[in-house]
Copies of this chain bind each other. A is one copy, B any other.
Amino acid sequence: MNVPLVRSDVESNARPGRPRVAILGGGFGGVYAAMRLEQLRRRRDEFDITLVNSENYFVFQPMLPEVISGSIGILDTVSPLRRLLPRTQLLIREIESIDLKNRSVMLSQGFRPRPYVLKYDHLVLALGTVTDFRTMPGLHEHALPFKNLADAVQLRNHLIHVLEEAAIETDTELKRQLLTFVIAGGGFSGVEVAAELNDFVRRVAREIPGIDRSEIHVVLLHSGAMILDRELTKKLSAYANKILQRRGVEIRLHSRLRTATPDSAVLESGERIMTKTLISTVPSLPNPIIESLPLPKEKGKVRTSEYLSVVDTDGIWAIGDCALVINPSGEGFAPPTAQHAIRQANIAANNIVATLRSHKKESYGFEGLGKMGSLGYRSAVAELFGGIKLSGLFAWILWRSIYWWKLPGLDRKLKVGLAWALDLLIPPELVQLKLASSQGISQSHFEPGEPVFRQGDLGDSLYIILNGEADVVREENGTERILARLRGGQFFGEMALMNQKTRNATVRCATAMDVLVLRKGDFRALVSNLPDFRASFENVVKARTEHAPLSEKSREI
């Protein structure tokens, strides 16, 4: 076969003449900006519109928690970008970097391992925020985020999985742990997730013979004195509190998550809640791409002028949660909500077109219409424009009506409408949609005193200590004996993998410990194909066996 060795260096959208508007991000800000630009464009060749997003769909965030309870279908809360934006060029790629000087954006590779360079004349930053657990130990490894569609589907699958396992579990401690669900964050997002999760697990538990509903614990952690205290008035916040508690959600106020392990959520007070399900809706951090840009920022957000262009730049615009837009009244900043992002998107699009046509720009002047949050099954709270406050069934009907109306596209309106109707007739969806079988190499975090594995367990992973220390403990005839102390850079767990045995000692953390986890399949593949890798393991195994002061097998972990 004759193949060319070298292919063209980069792909690019370089095209002469026509102005190019590039929008980064496919949330409310990005999508509505593109929609508005499509409306404003007079001729096909007036300017190009390009939108970059890592997914090919737009997530209608307010309805995402409903995916958990299955009251709407998995795909009903998202809309394909292509259908929303028929006249926009879509690039479904990751953003690698932005070169402001050369007015270009570098995108990740596709099937061809070449970067894609997107040139622009106007750049709209609409990258939102990210749920980033890097600042808290253990969260990245053991907490579930709740931000996008994949998170929602993964959470649903996980919930079904723990319920199925709880149904056949005979160890009461493990069963309690499986049936304890912890949600961190008492803002709108955390409250909605807690409400929908609580509805779902309680509805499903009715159908599972081995689970008593009284065994279910849903715990909502909030750092403030009242849930939704930053979002709502005292009265409504108290109402939300009451409704959730009546439905069985245990609310822990003045509680903050400190860390997480495979078996527990650890609070700042030192209290430890044993659970296999920890969801964190905090913290929201700036997108790393925004962080990397040399633009004027405050609290990690890009500062904009009243016209929504970025201060001290030309042709760069910022909208939505990644932008810091001063309120028209001059006090404070526009809050990070969908209604503001949509209005900002429209103004930014208008001003880009005004700039291209040398017209006058307009300033941002939206004050917000109010706030709403769902509390799950037929209950919600709302605080509307002009001070009107609503709660309960009426607020819930209003919540559904407004968001249904705002759903983009007739097809979604139809699907969601039908799903809501069906939800009244048929019980929730129980199917666990497992797609990924392996996870590659992962990390795990443990707290002092916690076992990584126990004597007698089946061995399915090798562990490499990144930091911290652990004891190898053996129980014989009811007495414990510490066989060794393991430290950073050492590994353990390889004996059970190489010889297909069960663990014959427990490894228990002496300090907080982070480990790299290499699963059986991956470990075997490396051991059997990399001679050096195998040799280094064999040496350690030999040493551990030879220098063991006890019986021959005693140091095998």
Contacts and interface: CB of A to CB of B under 8 A. Distances in A.
A426 interface: yes
A150 interface: yes
Interface stretch (A351-359, A530-538, A545-553): A530-538
Interface in A452-494: 453-460, 464, 466, 473, 475, 480, 489, 491
A451 interface: yes
A203 interface: no
A235 interface: no
Given A430-B56, A433-B149, A475-B5, A489 B529 contact: yes
Contact of A426 (B2, B411, B439, B456): B411
A465 to B, nearest CB: 8
A192 B237 CA distance: 55
17 contacts: A1-B450, A5-B451, A5-B455, A5-B473, A6-B506, A7-B457, A11-B170, A55-B434, A56-B431, A80-B430, A83-B207, A112-B171, A153-B433, A415-B426, A440-B441, A441-B521, A536-B536
A90 interface: yes
Given A3-B450, A489-B529, A522-B522, 5 more contacts: A5-B451, A90-B167, A109-B458, A110-B169, A113-B453
Interface string A191-222: 00000000000000001110000000000000
**5 smallest A-B Cβ distances: which pairs?**
A436-B436, A440-B440, A80-B430, A532-B536, A1-B449
A9 interface: yes
A315 interface: no
A414 B441 contact: no
Interface stretch (A70-78, A123-131, A304-312, A316-324): A70-78
A388 interface: no
Nearest to A466: B529
A433 to B, nearest CB: 7
Contacts of A8: 171
What copy number does this chain have within its complex? Answer: 2
Interface in A138-182: 149-150, 153-154, 160-162, 164-165, 167-171, 174, 178
A429 B83 CA distance: 10
A112 to B, nearest CB: 6
A526 interface: yes
Contacts of A448: 1
Contact of A75 (B56, B73, B207, B531): B73
Given A427-B411, A522-B441, A457 B114 contact: yes
A256 interface: no
A451 B7 CA distance: 12
A194 to B, nearest CB: 22
B454 A6 contact: yes
B165 A113 contact: no
B432 A435 contact: no
A322 B167 CA distance: 29
A154 B276 CA distance: 27
Nearest to A532: B536
Contacts of A464: 529-530
Interface string A389-432: 00000000000000000000011001100100010011101111
Nearest to A525: B441
Interface in A505-557: 506, 508, 516, 518-519, 521-522, 525-526, 529-533, 536
Contacts of A427: 83, 411
A82 interface: yes
Nearest to A157: B435
